[in-house]
Every structure is written in structure tokens, then in C-alpha cells.
Structure 1
Amino acid sequence: MKKLVLSSLIGLCGLSLSAQNVLIGEGSLLRGRGYCEPSISINPRNPDNIVAGAVLDAVFYSTDGGESWIADTMVSSFGVWGDPVLITDTAGHHYYLHLSDPTGENWSSEEILDRIVIQKSTDGGQSWSNGTFTGMAHPKDQDKHWAIVDTSTNAIYITWTQFDDYGSENPEDESNILFSKSLDGGETWSEAIQVNTIPGNCLDNDSTTEGAVPAVGPDGTIYVSWGNRGNLYFSKSTDAGESWTEDKVIAQQPGGWDIDVPGVQRANGMPVTICDRKGRLYVNWVDDREGNYDVWVMHSDDGGENWTDPIRVNDDTGSADQFFTWMCVDPVTNILYAVFYDRRGLEGNHTHVYQARSTDQGESWTNIRITEESFRTNPLVFFGDYNHISAYGGRVRPIWTRIQGLKMGVWTSLWEESRYEGEKD
């Protein structure tokens, strides 16, 4: 497929911010589906090199820090069926993880979702391997994966949800959290093992085990949390994922993770787990404990044994909804960043994107609107399940989905921490 160069810079008028909005790519809703569920990763070896992905099979790369992007289509013999996840290892090699569709027949085939596929790029995202895979357990279905690189060892860890039968109403069918790892740059993967002890159902709702995002501490401990039955569960492994602690409820999630945002076809408040370079562990999520949807975070300094009370990330305390949160930590500066949709000061389904930052390990947060104009969500359009954000050395690149007319695309902003600090001064 011919590659396209896409670049669109829009200044944030009236805001003293060092950020510009950049259109990464968009698709026509008249052709069935625009781009959504974006993921983004900054190359630690070369921060000017950034890769991104979007549903169903879009991939983009930039060599100028995100000012312009080259678009292509992912191809694999295992099929490409969405849920893109982009990570980069310590060698600067990129990985694009996604769901499978080996027959190309989508939902008409029993083989869809039969594994988690991992494709690798060693040239900055210009070309990709056919891929390897993990979690092959047909006829069970594999979904909702995420991954992390242990920067001390370059090991790659993946967690995801396995459904006995996706969508099944049979109470005997379960959903569970699985784990797999690669110690050789994604060439081979360990046999998947189950993390959780309390299963969920297969209905893809509040009572399904979902939201497993792994994190790694400075000592190599692997952490993960997920939502199930109105609670946030947590487990950890101190032996590189060979065994896991028994499920532990670390917080209630009022309203569950399957949330109902007006004007959005489907939304969720699934947790995101991260660990900073000092070993502080964080879980970030959305719930309606105060009567509307807010973004929350809590942290632990003892490996998840004890947790703080939830701290609100959005500084709007009114009735406006905030949703689709993601959080990351800059491994160089240790500054925390979150990105989320925000409807403060707006009417109806109009929506902005906000970025929050914390320089005191999550104790307090500054909120910054990073979109120039609001947009309206459309309840008839599949809007995806997540946005994402990546940071390295003061360079921050959130990524989000936006509907504009009959097009839906993914965007980023050019946030440089040094310029932001300069403007503050």
C-alpha cells in the first residue's frame, strides 16, 4: 500500500502552552470506520522517532518528533484485527501488538481472536516483521492486551483477558487474566499462565476481568491490576512472572469499569497500572463515586501492600464528565502525565482533551487543555476503548480520537517540557 505523509499543525490560540495539535491520520465514517483506539511510543534511543497505531490495522511513524507522519497498513499472516498496542525496547526496536484474524473472515470465522500477535520493527517503524504470537488456545478468545518492557533486562511482558467464549451467557464460561513474556526481543514467548484467582464472566461488562496493564518496578517486580464486579483487583510477581500473588481488592470502583457516557457508543474506566523509577506504584482509572465520571489515581510505596485513598486527577469538581484516561511516567524526569476527555464548560456531547501533569509523584495535579476546539461525539459511531500517552526526556506525546464531520482521526500534541517550564517562568 502506498504510504502517505500526513502533517497538520494547529496552534493553541490564547493559551500560553508549548503544544501544537497534529493530525496523525483520519478515515471516512462513510467507509465504515475511522481511526480510533490509538497507541503511541517514543523511541528512547532516538526521541525524534515515534510510532503510533490505530484500529483496525493502521500504523504511523515519525522521524521529526511527531510534526509529520507517514502512514501504512499492518499486514500479517495471522491477521490484524485491532486493539493496537505500541511499545519500544531498550535497543530502539518497536513492537506492534494486536488481535488476530487468521482467515480474514472476521466475525464469520471461529478462528478470530485466537492469539495475541506481536510484530516488530527494527528500522523505526518503516517495515514490520510478519510477527510472532502468544496465548494460542483456540477455541478460547484472546482480547484486551497490553505490554511493558523491563528496561533493566529488555524482557517484554504481556497481560490480557482470555474469554472461554467471548459474549457467552453461559455462567460456566469464564474470563481470566493471562501473562506471557519474551526474553529474546519478541522472537519466542513463554506459555501463557493465569494471573487471577477470581474469574469473571464472558459478557464484556462490569463482571468481566478486563483492564490488565502490566508495570515493572526498579527491582524487577511485575504488577498488574484489573476491574471486575465493581472492584479493582491487584496481583504481583517477584519471579519474572513465573508465579503470582492471590488476587487482592485494592479499591472499589463505583459503577464498575463499563461506564455509560452520554453520546458515546461504548466507554470504560478500566485501570492503568504504572511504576516510576523510584518504585512508587500507581493505578489510574475512572468511576462515578461522586455522581459523575472523574479520573482517579492512588499509589503505593510498599509494592502494593498498602494504598493511598483515591486522588482526583481532574481539577474540575463540577458535574462534567471526564473519561477514557491513560497515564504514563517519564522515565528520565519521573514526571507523571495523564490524558483524558473532558466536558467541563461545554454543553451536550461537546468534548475537549486535557493533559494533567504531576511533579510530586501524583500528590497534586495541574490540568491543561490541549485541544484548541471541542468536538462532538456520536453515539452511532464506534469510538474505541482507549487513548494513550508516551513521554521520554521531557517530550510528551498524548494521542486521542476525534470526530470531525464525517471523518474520525487520531491526533497528538507537541508537548515539550522544557518549553512549558520556560513559559511558566
Structure 2
Amino acid sequence: MNKLVLLSLLSLPALARAQSAHPNVLISVQNSPNETSIAINPKNTQELVAGANLNNQYTSLDGGRTWTWRTLTSPYSVWGDPVVVADTTGAFYYFHLSNPGATSIGFPFIDRLLVQRTAQAAIPFSYRSFFGLNPPKQQDKEWVAVDRKTNTLYATWTEFDAYGSLSSRDSTRILFSKSTDQAQTWSPPRRISFYGGDAVDEDATVEGAVPAVGPNGEIYSAWAGPRGIVFNRSLDAGQTWLPKEKPIVSQPGGWDYAVPGIYRANGLPVTACDVSTGPHRGTLYVNWTDQRNGPSDTDVWLARSTDGGQTWSAPLRVNNDPPGRHQFFTWMTVDQKTGYLWFVFYDRRSYPDTRTDVYGARSTDGGRTFQNFRLSQTPFVPNENVFFGDYTNITAHDNVVRPVWTRLDNTQSSAWTALIDPTVLAAKGTLPDLTLQTYPNPAAHTLHLALDLPTAALAHIDLQTTTGRHVRTALHQQLAAGHQQLSIPVRDLAAGVYLLEMKIGNAVLHRKVTVLH
């Protein structure tokens, strides 16, 4: 017979409120990491590889719980802008800039783009090839996508006539190249932006081209510049492109803007396409940040297209907090098994100053609505005199979701991930700012629940087996709004893994709970 367990309602301690429902893992503090990138092996989601400026490489073979650190070398140096991707064979690729230092023969810094490869996550990377060499022009801000059907690699990036030049004679353009042989060789760079930009590396420069592959091999890419956020596509594996890029949306305030406490900030776009077998297959997404609501209110945005980029939705606001705070450095990915969208970004919704959290967001309905959740366990206070990097990153496959970000505590930078468990997010319904945390977990005698209710509501909490069999009702009670702590005795339960389900109105939250004796 199921036994009703009475719970004591206590005031929520500050420590419990500070905890994140998603365990945080420190990847490394060595070698001043920033500009983080991460990829997951779709054949084995326990294998992850990450990178960070300038030459940091990290490997995890246990789903992101522990990491090893290495520094990369190459014949032409490793000079930042790390991009890590994985193909369907389980091979990983690490792309980066170079600074060969051979100015005496006319090769300036960032003169080419380099790629390193490993066939298995556990094996160190080795130099593979370079592309984009076009002296004395400079190559910057590359990103790469993998065609999951053919494992073709597609790269887009910005070419500068002279990086940082104020001269009207110097400009920038978006280039494209591909490799069909696992990065051994590359096609000649092709210009895909009809309109160029200046070379200042500010709002009027064309930058931020991120490629994405569609379900039939289409190649899409969006970038920012003096015409706002624009888009181009190829329907024949990169042989031909639209003669002129299409506008997606204006970017009021430009892509280069100021955020207090941050060395420099940008709202460059991220492009992704759903190639899953889900209901939103083929939907194209572009994610960015801007200050269209004023310089004290940076927001995360998404535009979606269901016709291959012919038309686009109006901007949809991803962060769901009241106006007036900063959210910045967004990244987005699509879980190609579920079709869900996952986002990571920095967030100051809880503070009137420069204290900064890391938030995630998820959309299960093709980018129409968004569920926000805090990822970082504690905020950090950055130092505007220390370079913070230009991006975060996130990877997902079959509900294994791993973001990566830089934390900057005054002058100490560190790279972090979070072990996102999709079962802790609402399975149906939404209730803004509803949170539920469990600790200790595993529990031996008593399980504590830290509950944050935005409004008074009837709460129903059940314990179930992982197969959904009802074990007991832990609570069925009207609760007041605010912070509360609940305690559940578990010493009489058999050791094992249970699923805790909380229903608040139409919203449902789940937590995995482990009982040990």
C-alpha cells in the first residue's frame, strides 16, 4: 500500500537557492581559457571534446564529468578562434587560426585557417591541413558544419584585406570552402557575400558566418554587417549560391555593442537547421543578441524559416525575464535526434550590477516558445580589463546536452560545462521561474527539495520508478508563493534510482533521485 509521506515546510536557505538543478563541472583553469567550443560524438555520447583560446583542448570520456587538458601545436602555430566538430564516424576536428610569425616572407598573423583531426576522442589531435591562404589578406572568425549524410565539412569565415584597417580601400567578405575527404584537402575559397564590409572589426564589418546543413544537403549561412543580419544558401553542395544575400532582420545598435564589465561584446548570429525526423524537420533557425530595446537591455533573439530561408518570422525573444537587464553571447544547437533547440547565454536578470549567471533555454515546439533555466551554480563578476572571449557553445545529441562557457572571476578565467538532465525540465506546460532542486542526491535518509514558486498553487509530488510505476505520493497540498524547502524520508525505500514528479497546475517537473543505504 502506498504510504503518504508528510513533508515539513521550512524557509529555503540561501545555499539551496544558489544551487543549480544541473551539476556544474569545472573543465580547466589552466592557460587562461576563453572562447569555448564543444562537440559530442553521435556514436558515443560519453565522448566529448572541447577547445578554448588560444590553444587549449579538453577531452571527456565519461559524458563531461571529468576532463583531461592538452595544448595543441601545429607547424603554423595555434592562434585561437577554436571550433570543434564531430562527424558520424566518431572523428573530431579542431579548427583554429594561425600566427606563423613569418612576416619576413609576407605571411602576417591569421594568414590561414588550420584543422587538426583525431579519429577517436581518446587519441591526441594531429595537424591535418590548412585552407584560406591568400597573402597578404587575413582570415578570421571561421565556423564549420558537418553533413551527417556524407560527412562533408563546410566552412565559412571572414576574409580581411587588412585586419583592423580604417582605410576605405580595405574591406571584408564572407568566404566558403568544403572538404569531402575528412579535411585532407579543401575546395578553393568561394565568395558568398555580394556585399562586403569595412575591415575595422566593428558594426560595418561582415562577420559571424556560421554554416548549417539542411535535410537534403542544402547549405545555409547567416552573418551580420552593415545591412543587418543576412543570409545565403546553396542547393548544390556549395557549387552555386544566391547571387545576392537575403536580409533576415535589422540589428538595431549593430552587432558590436557594450555590456558593462565585459571587455568587448557582440551579437553575431548562429545558424542551425533541423535534420531530425521530428515534426520540424527542415526548419531553419538564426539566433543572435542585440540592443534593439536600448543599451541597458541586451536580449537573445531567434528567427525561424520553414521555406528554406525565403521568408522569416519576426524576431522571437528567447530570454523570458522582464525588460531592462543584459543577456549576451548566445549560442544555439539542434538535437538532431529530438529536434529540440537548446541555447546557452550569459544572464543578469537577477542582479542590478555586473554579477553574471549562465542560463540555458530549450524549445520543444520548433522555436515558438522557450523555457529558461539557470545553469551556473553561482554568479561571477567579470573584469572589463581582461579579455573575455567572443562566444560560448553548446552541443546535444539524443537528449545528452552539454554547454560550455567561460567564467571570469576578476582576472581568473575558467572553462565550465553543466550536466543538463532534460528530465528536470517541464515535460508539459510552462510556469515562468518555477524551479525544483533536490539535495543531497544520492540521499540515504532524507531527500530535501528546494522549491521556488512564482505564485501560490496546488502542488502534487509523486515518487515513481524509472519505468513510471507509482511508488508513493509525497505531497498533495496548496503551497504559498516564494521559497520553500521540503523534506522527504527515503530510508525505507529500496536502494536504486527513482523519478520524482512534481505537478504545479499544468506544469510538470521531473528529477532523477538516487537512494543509497
TM-score by length of 2: 0.76
Q: Is the CA contact (8 Å cut-off) linking 1:98 and 1:117 kept in structure 2?
A: yes
- Of 381, 392, 403, the residue aligned with 2:386 is 381
Mapped pair 1:118 → 2:93: no
In the TM superposition, 1:208-247 aligns within 5 A as 208-229=205-226, 231-245=228-242, 246-247=244-245
User: What are the superposed Cα offsets for residues 41-80 of structure 1, whole Å, 9 maximum, x if unpaired?
Assistant: 0111111010000000000000000000000000100210
Matched to 1:43, the amino acid is N
User: What are the superposed Cα offsets for residues 120-168 of structure 1, whole Å, 9 maximum, x if unpaired?
Assistant: 0112153112220110101100000000000011100000000011111
Write the distance in 1 (CA, Å) between the matches of 2:250 and 2:424: 39
Match of 2:292 in 1: 289
Q: Is the CA contact (8 Å cut-off) linking 2:27 and 2:66 kept in structure 1?
A: yes
Mapped pair 1:167 → 2:144: no
Matched to 1:310, the amino acid is P
Matched to 2:153, the amino acid is I
- Of 52, 56, 68, the residue aligned with 1:54 is 52
Mapped pair 1:317 → 2:317: no
User: What are the superposed Cα offsets for residues 187-208 of structure 1, whole Å, 9 maximum, x if unpaired?
Assistant: 1111101000000000000000
Matched to 1:26, the amino acid is V
Structure possessing the higher radius of gyration over alpha carbons: 2
Match of 1:131 in 2: 128
Q: Is the CA contact (8 Å cut-off) linking 1:86 and 1:94 kept in structure 2?
A: yes
In the TM superposition, 1:170-319 aligns within 5 A as 170-229=167-226, 231-245=228-242, 246-277=244-275, 278-291=281-294, 292-319=297-324
In the TM superposition, 1:9-20 aligns within 5 A as 13-14=16-17, 18-20=21-23
SS in 2 for 1:347: coil
User: What are the superposed Cα offsets for residues 386-411 of structure 1, whole Å, 9 maximum, x if unpaired?
Assistant: 00000011011011110125420110
Write the distance in 2 (CA, Å) between the matches of 1:225 and 1:247: 9
Percent identity of the aligned residues?
46
Matched to 2:89, the amino acid is A
1:16/1:58 Cα in 2 relative to 1: closer, same or farther (>3 Å)?
A: closer
- Unaligned ranges ≥5, structure 1: 1-11, 28-32
Write the distance in 2 (CA, Å) between the matches of 1:409 and 1:104: 32
User: What are the superposed Cα offsets for residues 87-124 of structure 1, whole Å, 9 maximum, x if unpaired?
Assistant: 0011010000000122388x998431111101001121
Matched to 1:176, the amino acid is R
SS in 2 for 1:138: coil
Match of 1:79 in 2: 77
Q: Is the CA contact (8 Å cut-off) linking 1:230 and 1:256 kept in structure 2?
A: no
Write the distance in 1 (CA, Å) between the matches of 2:79 and 2:145: 21
Q: Is the CA contact (8 Å cut-off) linking 1:230 and 1:255 kept in structure 2?
A: no
User: What are the superposed Cα offsets for residues 362-385 of structure 1, whole Å, 9 maximum, x if unpaired?
Assistant: 000000001111001111000000
SS in 2 for 1:168: coil
Write the distance in 2 (CA, Å) between the matches of 1:263 and 1:389: 23
Write the distance in 2 (CA, Å) between the matches of 1:125 and 1:362: 35
**What is the count of residue pairs matched by the alignment?**
408
Matched to 1:281, the amino acid is L
Q: 1:317 Cα deviation (Å)? A: 2.5
Q: 1:174 Cα deviation (Å)? A: 1.1
The answer to which of 414-423 and 285-294 deviates more is 414-423
Write the distance in 1 (CA, Å) between the matches of 2:259 and 2:151: 39
- Of 100, 103, 118, the residue aligned with 1:102 is 100
In the TM superposition, 1:339-358 aligns within 5 A as 339-358=344-363
Write the distance in 2 (CA, Å) between the matches of 1:220 and 1:343: 39
Write the distance in 1 (CA, Å) between the matches of 2:134 and 2:208: 20
Write the distance in 2 (CA, Å) between the matches of 1:60 and 1:283: 28
Mapped pair 1:34 → 2:32: yes
Matched to 1:77, the amino acid is P
Write the distance in 2 (CA, Å) between the matches of 1:355 and 1:387: 11
SS in 1 for 2:391: coil
SS in 1 for 2:207: coil
SS in 1 for 2:249: strand
SS in 1 for 2:236: coil
- Of 408, 412, 418, the residue aligned with 2:413 is 408
User: What are the superposed Cα offsets for residues 311-367 of structure 1, whole Å, 9 maximum, x if unpaired?
Assistant: 000001320010000000101111101100000121321100000000001000000
Match of 1:396 in 2: 401
Q: How big is the alpha-carbon RMSD for the aligned residues of Structure 1 and Structure 2?
A: 1.8
Write the distance in 1 (CA, Å) between the matches of 2:407 and 2:419: 17
Mapped pair 1:362 → 2:367: yes
1:13/1:45 Cα in 2 relative to 1: closer, same or farther (>3 Å)?
A: farther
Matched to 1:344, the amino acid is R
Mapped pair 1:334 → 2:339: yes
Match of 2:452 in 1: none
Matched to 2:173, the amino acid is N
Match of 1:67 in 2: 65
Q: Is the CA contact (8 Å cut-off) linking 1:40 and 1:389 kept in structure 2?
A: yes
Q: Is the CA contact (8 Å cut-off) linking 2:19 and 2:378 kept in structure 1?
A: no
